[in-house]
Amino acid sequence: MPTAPAPDLKLRIGIDAVGVERLRRLVDGHDEARERLFTAAELDYCSGKRREYEHMAARFAAKEAVLKAFGTGISQRMRWTEVEVVNERSGRPRIVLDGAVAAFAERHGLRDLDVSLTHTQDLAVAQATTLWERRAGCAST
Amino acid sequence: MAVSIAPNPANQEVQRMADVDSAVKEAVVEALALDDDEVTPDSTLMDDLGAESIDLLDILFRIEKSTGVKIEASDLGDYMQGGIPDDEFSDENEVITEKGAEHLNKVMPQTNPSDVAGSLKAEEVITLFTVQNLADMVKARADGAGA
C-alpha cells in the first residue's frame, strides 16, 4: 500500500519528452550546442555510442524534468549543465546539481531527488521525483 | 560638381533596428518550422508559438549566427529580472512584487504592473515573453546594455 511522505515533506514530480531527431538537429546544427547542454562527462558517456543521440535526448529530458520538478526553469538563470546526469556502475542514472540549480535546491530544502530515463529510436522521456522540506510561506516546499 | 551626402545616423539606427527585428523573426520561423505570417511581434514564444526550451536554444543560436549577439537561455532570466535581488523581485511564494512588476513593464511593455504584481509567479514570466521582447533584448545586448 503506498505511503504518503512525512507531513513535513512535500513531493513534486517533473516529466519531459524530447524528440531524438529534434535534439540531433540542434546539436549538429550549432557548434556550441553540445557544450551548452551537456557536461564533459555527459558528452563522454554519449560519445561513440551507437545510440548517441538517444542518450543525449534522454539526458536533456532529465534536465528538463528536474527543473520542472523544481517548479522553475532554464529561463530563471539556470544552465542545463548545472543538472548533470551521471550513471552508477549499475547503469542507474543519478543527478548531480551545480551552480544556481544547486543553490536553489539548498535554499528551498531539497531532501531527495531521483530520476528515471527511457528512450526509443524517436523519443526520450525522463521523470524526476523530488522531496522537499515543507517550510512555512514557501510555495516550492 | 559631385555632391556627397553623409549618412544620416538616425536613418542608420532605424535600419539597424529593422534588421534585428527581421533576424529575430527569421530565427523564430526557422527554428519552429512556422510560416512567416504565423509569427508577429506580439506572439508569445511559448504559449502562442509553442516553443519549448530546446526550441528557445535553437532560436538563440540562430540569432547569434545572423546578428553576432550571443545570448544564452539563462540570460533571459537576468534580462527579465534586471539585476533586482531575488527576494525583491518576487516574494516568499515566488510571486512577482510591485518592484519586479515595474521592471518587467520596462523590458516587456505589454505587461501591466497592476495585473502582474501580487498575482504572476516568477516561473510564469517566460510565458509572456514575445518575439518583440526578444528582439528588444537583442538590441539591448548589441548596445552593450544588460537590460
Query: What span, in angstroms and rounded, lies between the C-alpha atoms of A25 and B15?
Result: 32
What are the angstrom distances between the C-alpha of B15 and each of A62, B8, B10, B107, B130?
43, 11, 9, 21, 21
Beta bridge partners of B130: B44
A75/B73 Cβ within 8 A? yes
Q: What residue of B is the nearest CA neighbor of A108? A: B92
pLDDT tens, position by position, B46-85? 999 999 889 999 999 999 999 999 998 888 888 999 889 8
Query: What span, in angstroms and rounded, lies between the C-alpha atoms of B92 and B95?
Result: 7
Mutate to test the interface with A, among B44, B64, B70, B74 (most CBs of A within 10 A): B74
Residues in A closer than 8 angstroms to B57, CB to CB, are 26, 33, 36-37
Total residues found in chain A within this entry: 141
Total residues found in chain B within this entry: 147
Q: Residue type for A49, please?
A: K
pLDDT tens, position by position, B31-53? 999 999 999 999 999 999 999 88
Assigned C-alpha cell, A22? 529534434
pLDDT tens, position by position, B89-108? 988 888 999 999 999 999 99
Residue A134 — pLDDT band, cuts 50, 70, 90? confident
Q: Which helix (H) or strand (E) holds A93?
A: strand A93-97
Assigned C-alpha cell, B116? 502582474
CB pairs under 8 A between A and B: 64
Residue A141 — pLDDT band, cuts 50, 70, 90? very low
Active site residues per annotation of A: 68, 119
Helices B131-142 and B9-32: crossing angle, nearest 10°? Answer: 130
Asked if A74 has any chain B CB less than 8 Å from its own CB, the reply is yes
List the single residue in B58, B76, B77 with the smallest CB-CB distance to A26.
B58
* Average pLDDT along chain A: 89
More confident residue, B75 or A40: A40
Those residues with Cβ within 8 angstroms of residue B53's Cβ, 6 or more apart along the chain or in another chain: A64, A73, A74, B73
Asked if B126 has any chain A CB less than 8 Å from its own CB, the reply is yes
Assigned C-alpha cell, A112? 531527495
Q: What residue of A is the nearest CA neighbor of B64? A: A30
Residue B2 — pLDDT band, cuts 50, 70, 90? low
Of A27, A100, A35, nearest to B77 by C-alpha is A100
